[in-house]
Amino acid sequence: MRYDGGMEHHGGTPASLDRPADRRTIETLHRAGLLSARARRRALDLVLPPARWWPWADRLLLILGAVLLLAGVVFFFAYNWSALERSGRFALIQVGLVACVLGALHRGLDDTVSPVFLAGATVLLGVHLAVYGQAYQTGADAWELFAGWSLLALPWVVVARSSGLWVLWLLLLDLAVCLYYNQMIPWSARHEASLFLVLAVLNGMALALGERVRSRGASWLVATWTRELVLASSLIALTIPAAAWVAGDGPELVGPAAASLLALGLVVLHDFYRYREKDLGALTLACCSACAVILAGLGGLILQGPTGPWISLVFGLVIAATVAPFAWWLRRVARQMGGRE
Amino acid sequence: MTTEAPALAALLTDLRDEGLVEADAPERAAAMLATAEAEDDTPSYVRFLVGAGAWVSGLFFLGFVFGIVRELHLDDQPELFCFLGVAAVFLAARVRRGTSGTFAGQLCLASSMAGHVLATATAMDLAGWHRAAVVIPLMLSLLAVLVYPRNPDPVHRFGSPFAALFAWTVWFLSENLPWAVGPLVVVETAAAALLLAHPRARGSLRPLAFAVATASLLTAALSVGGRLQIPWELARLGLGCGLLALMSWCADGRSLLKGPLLAAAVAVVLLAVIAPPGLLVALAYMVLGRALSDTSLTWLGTVFVPPFLSVLYYDLNVSLAWKSWVLAGSGLVILLLRAHLARLVARSRPAPEVRP
């Protein structure tokens, strides 16, 4: 069950005692005389012992250090390009790449640091491909670089078992698809719209695969931010053509297809994230998508009527009337998930 | 190791079992907390949806008002519209107090936002354009102060003070008052921290605390890279000392001169000297959020760390080649520090019992 951990716990029912204790509540009870100084200190040690800071600080330092190091490497190549010999360029990248892979093997694939090493190797792989393309003027298009990058990085991404790395890999794949459309397919409104469909299906499949892996107990996929990020990208890709179509301005075939796929997807999402995974964030994203499409349709209808300042008032009321039921429903679902209904 | 804090009931039960509280402590705590002010339990995702919808609705309401004004040629009556704007704000607060319905709440929020804009725009017109710039923050501040106790909507309680504080920031920057920006950031950060962490701070002030916290980060962000030379020295000192004080509070009396805390203290001092002040503010919110188990606050700080870090490295007065070395070098130093701290932490943990 997913819930905002920052909520106040000063509710009026005994059920509020079931929520996580926090420092403010402890201080409030201490000032009210319920906790002595010794009890307060013991409570703080239990709620947030010194040792509980370390996993958070460890993760922070690891991500920060790795990002800065990788950024330095990438910028080094970007800014010192002309000064380096070709062999020197390849040597540096390959040494770094091999060092990252060896580091991951040395730490063991179950170690928390190994995914960071493999992420570094993935980034350096891309740098290597870019340098190769530039050095030998292969004439490859940009989409081929990203497609090759994602293909070659796939084994590392699979063994790393890191949700962050999977998101990076999916981003590379999406970029490859977008660049393919941009470079290889003659532009037309239909093809531009069909790109949205392809991205939606791609990210939707990634989401489904992720949920399947998670349901089999993959602890490395516990963080729900990856789910919500991938879901958001899939919904955005479907919502844009669907909203354009219902507003009366979308391409034929692709618009209805996107709208149908979105409708089906929302039903599946509702069932899955309300009753199985219980993720309020995912349900909110689905509601945002539904709101956008409904408002696009109603906006298109309103604009077909008589014009005047009254349109603004009507549409303002329509927006409030559309968002309100979703907000009410989400609050109700949140209460049900919290066991308060 | 789990990062989840225990439930309050379980905590009180543990304390009772250790003899540190009375036997009826859980019941008394429940009763005590039940008498505290009730607060809206809407999750943050839903508030965001409601706020976004109300904001867009408010814009259309405004469009309607301005359209009517133009159609009926009422442009020469700014007093009327200023009054209508203020009336809309207070009426929305009154209606919101009496209803818990979502649709009514949405309408009240949208009306209040439209009223804010209408009242402020017409107040500018009344004050004259040479005083217009200061009228905006003054009007928004007045409305925020007067309406906050009256409108219980948490989205409104965030938006109204935030708009006022942001308007003051824009005014300071547009009026070439660089000396005021540093103290503003320090005061906003301190106020946000107090509103969030002080035991006497009521739950109803939480949206205000987040408004002030967000405003402090945006003030620091807007002040970066501008044409104004802002004297940050005192602000750096204030923020650095504040962050050290916060760490000391989080450590609950443990010395900052020992173990991992010493490394953190040294890092804070270093950042206070070289980093953009916004980075100190963002780190303060991350640490405070962690201490209070407040993920929203932690994420608020986390989101602003990468931009301020980018500014730190961008502003380094060295060549681009050297910047890449500095980036990579600092990353390596942080990773080595992490490894060293991991060893310290491992050494400080009690050894597991060995059974014969």
Q: Do A10 and B6 count as a contact with CB atoms less than 8 A apart? A: no
Report CA B267 to chain centroid distance, whole Å.
23
The count of CB pairs under 8 A between chains A and B is: 308
> Looking at residues A186-212, what average pLDDT do you find?
85
CA-nearest of B204, B210, B196 to B38 is B204
Residue whose token pair is 């802002």: B230
> Average per-residue pLDDT in chain A?
83
Task: Using the predicted structure, report yes or no on whether residue B356 has a pLDDT greater than 70.
Answer: no
* Distance set, CA A112 to CA A160, B127, B158 (Å): 10, 61, 38
Q: Hey, is the C-beta of B294 within 8 angstroms of any chain A C-beta?
A: yes
Q: Which residues of B touch A27 (CB under 8 A)?
A: 199
Cα A97 from Cα A103, distance rounded (Å): 10
Q: How far is A159 from chain B (nearest CA, A)?
A: 23
CA A341 to chain centre: 30
Whole-number pLDDT of residue A8 = 38
The CA distances from residue A77 to A70, A94, B88, in Å, are 11, 13, 58
The pLDDT of residue A10: 39
Give residues 54 to 93 of A whose Cβ lies within 8 Å of B: 54-58, 60-62, 64-73, 75-76, 78-80, 83
Q: Which of A46, A64, A309 sits opposite B6 (nearest CB)?
A: A46
Predicted pLDDT of residue A190: 61
Residues A45-72 pLDDT 10s:
888 777 778 888 888 888 889 888 888 8
A6, A58, A323 member nearest B297 (Cβ): A6
The answer on pLDDT for B11 being more than 70 is: yes
- Position B63 scores a pLDDT of 85
Residues 6+ apart with CB under 8 A from B327: A68, A69, A71, A72, A75, B313
Interface test with A, best of B18, B20, B45, B70 (most A CBs within 10 A): B45
| Interval B65-85 mean pLDDT | 78
Q: How far apart are the CA of B328 and the nearest CA of chain A, in angstroms?
A: 4
Which of A212-216, A304-308, B30-34 has the highest average model confidence (pLDDT)?
A212-216
Q: Would you call A316 and B57 a contact, using CB atoms and an 8 Å cutoff?
A: yes
- CA B42 vs CA A3, A83, A276, B185: distances in Å: 10, 58, 21, 30
User: How many angstroms separate the CA atoms of A255 and A232, rounded?
Assistant: 19
**Which ipTM was obtained for this model?**
0.77
pLDDT of residue B317: 79
Q: Please, what is the angle between helix A86-107 and helix A50-79, to 10°?
A: 160
Q: For residues B115 and A101, give the distance between their C-alpha atoms in angstroms, rounded to a whole number.
A: 60
> Mind listing the pLDDT tens digit for each residue in B197-237?
887 777 788 899 999 999 999 999 888 766 667 788 888 89
Give A 275-314 residues with CB within 8 A of chain B. 280-281, 284, 287-288, 291, 308-310, 312-313
Q: Residue A285 has what pLDDT?
A: 93
- Chain A neighbors of B337, CB-CB under 8 A: 61, 65
A contacts of B324 (beta carbons < 8 Å):
72-73, 75-76, 78-80
A54 neighbourhood in chain B, CB within 8 Å? 1, 260, 341, 345
For B320, the closest chain A residue by CA position comes to A79
Answer yes or no: are the C-beta atoms of A282 and A230 closer than 8 Å.
Answer: no
pLDDT cut 70: percent of chain B above it? 92
Going by the DSSP 8-state scheme, the letter that residue B40 receives in this structure is -
Distance from CA of A336 to the nearest CA of B (A): 12
Whether B321 sits inside 8 A of A79 (CB atoms) is yes
**A326 vs B contacts (CB less than 8 Å):** 49
In the predicted model, is pLDDT for residue A329 greater than 60? yes
Contact B46/A284, CB-based, under 8 Å?
A: yes
The sign one gets for the Cα dihedral A297, A298, A301, A306 is negative
Q: How far apart are the CA of B341 and the nearest CA of chain A, in angstroms? A: 9
CB B61 within 8 A of CB A312: yes
- CA distance linking residue A325 with residue A242, whole number of Å: 21
Token pair of A43 as six digits: 């409570």
pLDDT in tens, B270-324: 888 888 899 999 999 999 998 888 888 999 999 999 899 888 888 877 877 788 8
In one letter, which amino acid is B268? V
A248 dihedral zone (left: phi>0; alpha: psi -120 to 50; beta): left
pLDDT tens digits for B260-275?
788 888 888 888 888 8
Chain B hits for A28, CB-CB cut-off 8 Å, are 32-33, 36, 199
Residue of B nearest to A84 (CA): B321
The two structure tokens encoding residue B255: 């010395």
For A4-33, the pLDDT digits (tens) are 333 333 344 455 677 778 777 888 788 778
Top residue of B40, B102, B287 to mutate, by most chain A CBs within 10 Å, is B102
- Mean per-residue pLDDT, A271-296: 91
| Per-residue pLDDT, A12 | 42
For the cut 90, the answer to whether the pLDDT of residue A108 exceeds it is no
Tell me: the pLDDT tens digits for B21-38? 888 888 888 877 765 544
- The whole-angstrom separation of Cα A19 and Cα A2 is 13
Residue B36 is predicted with a pLDDT of 52
Indicate the residue of B36, B252, B324 with minimum beta-carbon distance to A10: B36
Residue of A75, A92, A100, A291 to mutate, testing the B interface (most B Cβ within 10 Å of its Cβ): A75
Q: What whole-number distance in Å separates Cα of residue A103 and Cα of residue A116?
A: 10
Q: How confident is the model at residue B142 (pLDDT cuts 50, 70, 90)?
A: very high
Mean pLDDT of chain B: 84
Average pLDDT over residues B329-344: 88
Crossing angle of the two packed helices A225-246 and A163-184, in degrees rounded to 10: 30
